Amino acid sequence: MGSNLELFLVAVVVGSGATVIMDIWALLMSRLFDIPSLNYRMVGRWVGHIPRGKFVHGNIADASPISGERVIGWAAHYAIGIAFAWALLMIVGLEWIDEPTALPALLTGIVTSAAPFLIMQPGMGAGIAASKTPAPTTARLRSLMAHVSYGVGLYLTAVGLSALEIV
C-alpha cells in the first residue's frame, strides 16, 4: 500500500474514532450534567451558506435553512475530525501509530480549539471565542473540553489501531 494512501486511511480511522469519542463525551455531558451539545444542524446551515458566498452571520439560527443541513453538519464534523488527524499524522509521522504517545494527541486537541474560536464561532455569529454569547467563559471552556476529549480520542484510537498491528 502506498504511503499517501496508508496515511489517508489511518487518518480516516483515527480521526473518525477520535470524533466518536468526542461525541460520546458530549453525550455524557448532556445526560449527566444537562450541558447541551453543539447543534450540528446549525453547523450544516453555516457550511451550506458558504458556497453561496455567506461566511459570517449575525446569528446562524436566523439564517435561511439549507436542505440537508443536519447531514451536512454531521458530515463536516467528521470530515474536520479526519482532517485534524491527518495534520497530526503529517507532523508526527505515521510511525506514531506503532507506539502512540498521549502528548501529541492531547496537544492536537488543545490546538484545534482555535478552529471554533477563530472560524466557526465568529462565522455563526457568536464572535471570536464566543465573545458575543451570554456566557463566553463557559462556552470557551466547553469548546476546550470537547477538543481535549477529541485529543484523548486520537490517542485511544491510535492505541487501539496499534494493538491490531495492521498499520
For the segment 11-28, what is each residue's pLDDT rounded down to a tens digit?
999 999 999 999 999 999
Predicted local distance difference test score (pLDDT) of residue 165: 81
Identify the residue whose cell numbers are 443536519: 70
CA gap 119, 55 in Å, rounded? 9
How many whole angstroms separate alpha carbon 106 and alpha carbon 82? 15
Quote the CA–CA distance of 121 and 59 in Å, as a whole number.
10
Q: How far is CA 56 from the centre of its chain?
A: 19
**Residue 108 exposed, middle or buried by CB count within 10 Å (0-12, 13-18, 19+):** buried
Task: Name the one residue in this structure whose C-alpha cell is 451539545.
Answer: 37
Q: How many residues does the chain have?
A: 167
Counting as low any pLDDT under 70, the low residues of the chain are 1-2, 167
pLDDT tens profile 36-55:
999 999 999 999 999 999 99
Domain-by-domain residue ranges, the chain?
Answer: 3-164
Structure pTM? Answer: 0.95
Q: For residue 114, what are the contacts with CB-CB under 8 A and spacing of at least 6?
A: none
What residues contact residue 156 under an 8 Å CB cut-off, 6+ apart? Answer: 17, 18, 21
Closest of 115, 113, 82 to residue 11, by C-alpha: 82
Cα–Cα separations (whole angstroms), residue 129 to 35, 52, 101, 137, 143: 18, 25, 29, 9, 9
Contact call for residues 82 and 53 (beta carbons, < 8 A)? no
Provide the pLDDT for residue 2: 52
